[in-house]
Structure 1
Amino acid sequence: MPIRGRLGIRLLLAGLVCVLVLSCISALAFGPAVIPQSYVWSIVGKHLGFAMPEDWSRSQEHIVWLIRAPRVVLGALVGAGLAMVGVALQAVTRNPLADPHLLGVSSGAAFGAVLVVLYLGEFAGVFSLPLAAFLGALGSMLLVLAVARRRGQLESDRLLLAGVAVSFVLMAMVNLLLFTGDHHAAASVVFWMLGGLGGARWDVLWLPGICVVAGLFALLAMARGLNALMSGEQTAVSLGFNGKGLRLQAFICTSLLTGVLVSLSGAIGFVGLMVPHVARALVGAEHRRLIPVAALLGALFLVWVDVAARTLIAPEDLPIGIATAALGGLFFLVMLRR
């Protein structure tokens, strides 16, 4: 039975926050070079301003604080953001299988990002890659909606099929760009497209952090409207919501989130498909409860998937998109059976 009471929801959120913090710190110990948990806690405590016994080596401190800590934080932000995107897309499309990967949003973001990396360069400075990924994600989402709409109605089955078709077309265009572009740059782009958190640095985390927090508050502000859209556009209109306007706001918000996150982590699929269903099993479908719970679960999920990715074939780093695709494919088959 889902948790319903306000006190139960608050306790669940507090528990998930505590587990997430403990998981993020514990995850810093794992990797090709295993570092004792006591050293990890001391290093983190020192950088947070606490007096700690410094019995670790400088190389261990470098690995924990400069290499793994930004990676873990980025993983939590990406997991939280993609989970919120999945919740919003499943609400506005009324399709339980909606996901930024399946609806072509991730492919559009990848197309914009590859276009910048191989051809356009930093036309807007540090914002070039996120901006191009956002525009690609938004353009692909609008294209999917245009293809799926029939007689003014948006059918969930057509939407999913249109998303898969647009995703294939966009990935074909991405592959064409890679084939015709500089081969040295294309090799690094191919690895980036498989999804990974290895490029995380402290100086780039502010942008996804701001976007994820802003996206959380924006989606919470839309929560009542998302509840109404789950019951159909006519129901939303009868309750005083502008269905088309609300849907457009949700698409812009989710495209911005997906674009920024994909520009930093590559195409990580199926997080937005799996996590919302687990969150609904815990707290039901009311979006003021569902969105924050899904965000915390998504952060937890990707932190530990990243731990598995960097330890399973150590010292090699398994692209995290491979792991999420394998888990997501199995989950997708289970959903289809249901």
Structure 2
Amino acid sequence: MARLAVGRSVIVVTLASTALVASAAVALALGSVDVPLERVLAVLRRRLGAGGEVTILEDQLVWQLRLPRVMGAIAAGAVLALCGAVLQSLTRNDLADPFLLGVSSGATVGAVTVMVLGIGVGGLVASAAVSAAAFAGALAALAVVLVIAAAGGQGLTPHRTVLAGVAVAYLCSAYTSVVVIMHAEGDAARRVLSWTLGSLAGLRWDSALVLLGAAVVAMVWFFAYADRLDAFTFGEVSAQSLGVPVTATRWVLMVATALVTATTVAYVGVIGFVGLVVPHLVRPVVGHHHRAVLPASAVGGALLLVWADTAARSLVDRQEVPVGALTALLGVPVLIWLMARRPRT
């Protein structure tokens, strides 16, 4: 039975990975200006040293603009889905996602402070300042959540951690609302709205490579804890009886999810529902063992975000739809469907 489950998960991940490669190729071709798929392949061959003739416009569109964006979408989708799978196991909460720990709210505080108040921004460094401030805000929010959750000497329990995350998220939301209402005007208000709904429009090769690095670190780190995550599925008592250091494992994995989520949010803004929905979609297919759930979630999240971002820049002529809005439009019906088909407990 175990071998059958492993074999099925390998087949599923292989097929999904093939679909991801095909989806990436299609995403490179589609946009406000479509590029024939054969020309996309010609650009890639030329850039990889295989020769061929391409126009400057084709090279700019495919290699300089779209490929970093597609790579960033793959990395961000994988990270968000991986973190969702880990947090749902750690907290035994089906509604857990990467933003459970107040990370996105803290990142929003940092980004909005820079975008609206202009702290530390000057000319060409504005984008880097926003990303740095978002990352710092996310880490600060995480630190506050963990301190509150661990206060009183009761350890880092899921219930206290969730409550602390909700409290910090509301506090950050209040700060953001006050700053935007009192100070945001014109372009600043538009940038805040775009960032809080998520966007991959600003990704270039430097930021895409950072996101890819975060995705690799997340996959390796979480996969090393796959067996411990399996033990958490049956509760803390069962995990302890199997020799799992429950408190230490929870601290390490929560900090890890917050770090890679903070890195992702700093570059692409707040993109919801990927980490919430994708793990629920893959578990009925590959089973509940995390050696199968984690890679399947990573590929599934990447697929979802690649197609959501492609739609975001293709649906409306000369205008881009926030990718976070599209993931919500996709995620809410899926979540309702999952709730409807699950037996009541």
**TM category, shorter:** 0.7 to 0.9
Unmatched runs of 5 consecutive residues or more in structure 2: none
Q: Partners of 2:288 and 2:319 in 1: how far apart?
A: 40
Q: Partners of 2:171 and 2:97 in 1: how far apart?
A: 17
> Could you tell me how far 1:288 is from its partner in structure 2?
1.4
Amino-acid identity (%)? 37
Does 2:294 align with 1:291? yes
1:147-162 equivalence runs, <5 A:
154=157
Does 2:335 align with 1:332? yes
Encode CA deviations 1:82-132: one digit per residue, 9 max, x unaligned. 00010011011001111124553322222233335545437x987734641
Say which of 110, 113, 116 aligns to 2:111. 113
User: Does the Cα contact within 8 Å between 1:211 and 1:257 map onto a contact in 2?
Assistant: yes
**TM-score, structure 2 length as denominator?**
0.86
User: Does the Cα contact within 8 Å between 1:109 and 1:259 map onto a contact in 2?
Assistant: yes
User: Does the Cα contact within 8 Å between 2:90 and 2:250 map onto a contact in 1?
Assistant: yes
Aligned match of 2:88: 90
Name the SS for the 2:313 alignment partner. helix
- The letter of the residue matching 2:97 is D
User: Does the Cα contact within 8 Å between 2:149 and 2:156 map onto a contact in 1?
Assistant: no
Aligned match of 1:30: 30
User: Does the Cα contact within 8 Å between 2:109 and 2:137 map onto a contact in 1?
Assistant: yes
The size of the alignment, in residue pairs, is 334
* Change over 3 Å in CA distance of 1:264–1:152 after alignment to 2: closer
User: Does the Cα contact within 8 Å between 1:75 and 1:299 map onto a contact in 2?
Assistant: yes
Say which of 247, 254, 274 aligns to 2:257. 254
> Could you tell me how far 1:146 is from its partner in structure 2?
5.9
> Could you tell me how far 1:181 is from its partner in structure 2?
4.3
Does 2:118 align with 1:128? no
Q: Partners of 2:142 and 2:133 in 1: how far apart?
A: 14
Name the SS for the 1:28 alignment partner. helix
List 4+ stretches of structure 1 deviating above 6 A.
124-127, 149-153
- The letter of the residue matching 1:167 is A
Aligned match of 1:263: 266
Name the SS for the 1:200 alignment partner. coil
- The letter of the residue matching 1:238 is S
Aligned match of 1:59: 57
> Could you tell me how far 1:78 is from its partner in structure 2?
0.5
* Change over 3 Å in CA distance of 1:332–1:151 after alignment to 2: farther
Q: Partners of 1:2 and 1:105 in 2: how far apart?
A: 37
Q: Partners of 2:70 and 2:148 in 1: how far apart?
A: 33
**TM-score, structure 1 length as denominator?**
0.87
Say which of 175, 178, 181 aligns to 1:176. 178
User: Does the Cα contact within 8 Å between 1:196 and 1:265 map onto a contact in 2?
Assistant: yes
Q: Partners of 2:3 and 2:275 in 1: how far apart?
A: 21
1:267-278 equivalence runs, <5 A:
267-278=270-281
Q: Partners of 2:3 and 2:61 in 1: how far apart?
A: 40
* Change over 3 Å in CA distance of 1:306–1:161 after alignment to 2: same
Aligned match of 2:14: 14
> Could you tell me how far 1:8 is from its partner in structure 2?
3.3
Aligned match of 1:74: 72
Q: Partners of 1:32 and 1:172 in 2: how far apart?
A: 37
User: Does the Cα contact within 8 Å between 1:112 and 1:135 map onto a contact in 2?
Assistant: no
Aligned Cα RMSD in Å? 3.0
Q: Partners of 2:302 and 2:145 in 1: how far apart?
A: 24
* Change over 3 Å in CA distance of 1:59–1:20 after alignment to 2: same
> Could you tell me how far 1:207 is from its partner in structure 2?
1.7
Encode CA deviations 1:272-325: one digit per residue, 9 max, x unaligned. 011001111121111111111100110011001111111111221001011112
> Could you tell me how far 1:48 is from its partner in structure 2?
1.9
Q: Partners of 2:274 and 2:37 in 1: how far apart?
A: 28
